[in-house]
Amino acid sequence: MRQLLTGIAEDLLAYAALRDLLEQQFQAALRHKASELGAVAEAISTLVDAMQARRALRVALVQRLVGPQGTMMQAFALLKNAAREKMEADWNTLEQAVIACKALSKRNGDLLVEQYSIMQRVLHGEEQIYAPA
């Protein structure tokens, strides 16, 4: 149980760091700073790999605590009231952080795709400048 709780606390910190990195990525993309984009992408990848490993461990720990179909809420139910309430609140905060980071990631991806599309049109021209009559 201690590992489970520690992993959630670590992910709360990691998602705050991820949010900062996604903002750095967005600013670098806006300014067309390719070298910064590469460095930020590497940092994001490293952070996400660590978060993924914690998620896999969390799934295994929950399965060990409450069975193969166990959920986080079932694992939290094993805790006493005050500890359970704190962990449920932390879990909800973590879920909101995941949603926020997904939105930032989508925003960044959309910007990068649009920039790529514009660059392709600049370099290779429009397929059809005028619509057929």
* Structure tokens, 53: 């490993």
Q: Exposed, middle or buried: residue 76 (CB in 10 Å: 0-12, 13-18, 19+)?
A: buried
- For the chain, 133 residues long, the average pLDDT of each consecutive 10-residue run is 93 98 96 94 97 96 94 93 93 97 97 86 68 59
pLDDT of amino acid 132: 61
- Region of residue 116 (phi > 0: left; psi between -120 and 50: alpha; otherwise: beta): alpha
Candidates 127, 73, 90; CA nearest to 5 is 90
pLDDT of amino acid 129: 58
Measured in whole angstroms, the distance separating CA 67 from the mean position of its chain's CA atoms is 27
pLDDT of amino acid 120: 77
Domains of the chain: 2-124 (1.20.58)
Q: What is the C-alpha separation between 44 and 16, in angstroms, rounded? A: 12
